Each structure stands twice: as structure tokens, then as C-alpha cells.
């Protein structure tokens, strides 16, 4: 059985999308096809509520296109999980955000976790998601490295993130680290070596979770909140979203 999983990087930085795709493919089962994409419109990185809100139309366009192409499941590969609920209203298969996947995985391998995110302004968004997903008690701290998303691949930035992960575990007394940005996915092995605790990258966690859900035959429920949205006209720049 071949599964087709679409990993959507909600920002438009294609180098980051390729890196995300490599990380997802490295863990996907041999029968799983991972399609890593960026929307054709939206911000080049997501570091604010404004960026996040304006990334959502592009994410939804990718889910709508995926539905036409028969995609089995989706990963939303940005740690704010932008558009997650709306994507579930469009998708037949499962949709998993990397923050929710990482927090779920962290609480299966330890009692508590620390999150290491990018800019300080994203700290409260990570806390908000920990509350939303029911993991606020397990989340012992959210730490910002204050490195912009698009600079995370620099060797100096990787070193800073690794050191911050190690100090976060010490400072919080936590059992594991959750990487708070898809741009940190490729640093996961390095951070694991340095910290000696489980390090959870949401891109790989969400890819395996979606693959598992698809293999279990589980789809997004259409019964209540996630039923397809009522048809209506959209106007102006959003006219193509009429459905």
C-alpha cells in the first residue's frame, strides 16, 4: 500500500521546504511518498501573528489541491500549526500540526518537556498551543534563541540552538526537548547528542503520526466541527476560495 503524505511548509522559503522534505523522507516508510511543498503565496517566514494569519490562505489552497490529487494525509510544518482546524474542514484524511505532534510525542517518552523556539515574541504562542493541546502541565518552559527562522541553518545558529536546548533541560528540570520551529528539524540529531535527552522534531513526529493514522484507516471526522465548511461566496483577493 502506498501512502501519499503532503508536508506543507506554510512559509515560502523553498530551501527550508527542501530541508523539511529531506527530514520527513528520512523517517517515512518505504511505501510512503512525501510531497514537501510551500504555498505559492504568503510570508517567507512565520514569526508573528500577522505572518501566521497571512500564511493560512496558502496552506488551505495546498490542502484543497491535495484533495483534488487524492492525498492521504497532511502535515502542517510550522510550529504555530497555522490553519490546522480549517485544513481539517477541507481534508478527508488526517491533518497534523508539528507542534501538536511534537508535544504528543514528548509526553509519551517523558513526563515533561522544554520548548526551544525562535524569537521571544513566539514564546506565548507556544504556551497557547501547549494549553490548547492539554500539555501545559507537561511543558516546563519555553525558551527563545532569538534567531530569525531563515538564519537557523547557519552553523553558529545551530550551535546556539543546541546550547540553549541543553541549558533549557537543566533550567526546567525537564525530561525532553521539543524543537519549536520546522527550521530546526535538521539539527535534531546534533541536539540529541549534546543534550542526552529525547529531542522531538515535530516534522518527523507529525510525518510518522500521519502515516500511522492513515495506515489505521483513520480519517478526519466529518460529523461536527470539522464537517466541510458551508458553501459561500468569497470576494476580492479571496475570490478563488469560494467553494
Which residues are near ligand 2AL by CB under 6 A?
11, 45-47, 78-79, 117-118, 122, 149, 180-183
CB closer to ligand 2AL out of 122 and 207: 122
CB closer to ligand 2AL out of 78 and 138: 78
Nearest distance from C-beta of residue 81 to ligand 2AL, angstroms: 9
Nearest distance from C-beta of residue 199 to ligand 2AL, angstroms: 15
Distances (CA, A) of 49 to 5, 83, 121, 184, 234: 27, 12, 9, 20, 22
Nearest distance from C-beta of residue 164 to ligand 2AL, angstroms: 13
Chain centroid to CA 165: how far? 19
Nearest distance from C-beta of residue 41 to ligand 2AL, angstroms: 15
- Closest C-alpha among 168, 164, 201 to residue 75: 201
Nearest distance from C-beta of residue 84 to ligand 2AL, angstroms: 13
CA distance 118 to 211: 28
CB closer to ligand 2AL out of 65 and 119: 119
CB closer to ligand 2AL out of 149 and 164: 149
Whose cell is 510570508? That residue is 43
CB closer to ligand 2AL out of 5 and 181: 181
Say if residues 131 and 103 touch (Cβ distance below 8 Å): no
- SS3 category, 37: strand
Nearest distance from C-beta of residue 158 to ligand 2AL, angstroms: 15
Distances (CA, A) of 181 to 153, 178, 194, 231: 12, 9, 18, 34
Q: Is 40 exposed, middle or buried (0-12, 13-18, 19+ CB in 10 A)?
A: exposed
CB closer to ligand 2AL out of 47 and 211: 47
What DSSP state is assigned to residue 145? -
Amino acid at each position: 500500500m502506498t501512502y501519499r503524505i503532503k508536508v506543507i511548509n506554510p512559509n515560502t522559503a523553498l530551501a527550508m521546504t527542501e530541508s523539511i522534505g529531506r527530514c520527513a523522507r528520512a523517517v517515512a516508510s518505504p511505501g510512503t511518498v512525501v510531497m514537501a511543498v510551500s504555498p505559492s503565496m504568503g510570508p517567507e517566514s512565520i514569526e508573528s501573528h500577522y505572518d501566521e494569519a497571512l500564511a493560512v490562505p496558502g496552506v488551505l489552497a495546498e490542502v484543497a489541491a491535495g484533495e483534488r490529487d487524492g492525498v492521504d494525509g497532511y502535515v502542517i510544518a510550522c510550529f504555530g500549526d497555522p490553519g490546522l482546524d480549517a485544513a481539517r474542514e477541507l481534508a478527508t484524511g488526517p491533518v497534523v500540526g508539528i507542534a501538536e505532534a511534537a508535544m504528543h510525542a514528548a509526553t509519551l517518552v517523558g513526563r515533561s518537556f522544554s520548548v526551544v523556539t525562535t524569537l521571544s515574541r513566539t514564546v506565548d504562542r507556544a504556551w497557547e498551543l501547549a494549553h490548547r493541546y492539554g500539555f501545559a502541565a507537561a511543558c516546563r518552559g519555553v525558551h527563545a534563541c532569538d534567531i530569525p527562522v531563515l538564519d537557523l541553518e547557519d552553523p553558529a545558529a545551530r550551535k546556539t540552538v543546541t546550547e540553549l536546548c541543553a541549558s533549557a533541560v537543566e533550567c526546567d528540570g525537564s525530561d525532553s526537548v521539543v524543537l519549536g520551529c520546522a527550521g530546526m528539524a535538521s539539527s535534531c540529531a546534533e541536539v540529541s547528542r549534546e543534550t542526552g535527552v529525547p529531542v522531538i522534531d515535530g516534522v518527523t513526529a507529525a510525518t510518522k503520526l500521519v502515516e500511522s493514522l492513515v495506515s489505521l484507516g483513520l480519517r478526519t471526522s466529518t460529523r461536527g466541527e470539522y464537517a466541510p465548511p458551508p458553501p459561500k461566496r468569497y470576494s476580492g483577493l479571496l475570490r478563488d476560495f469560494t467553494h
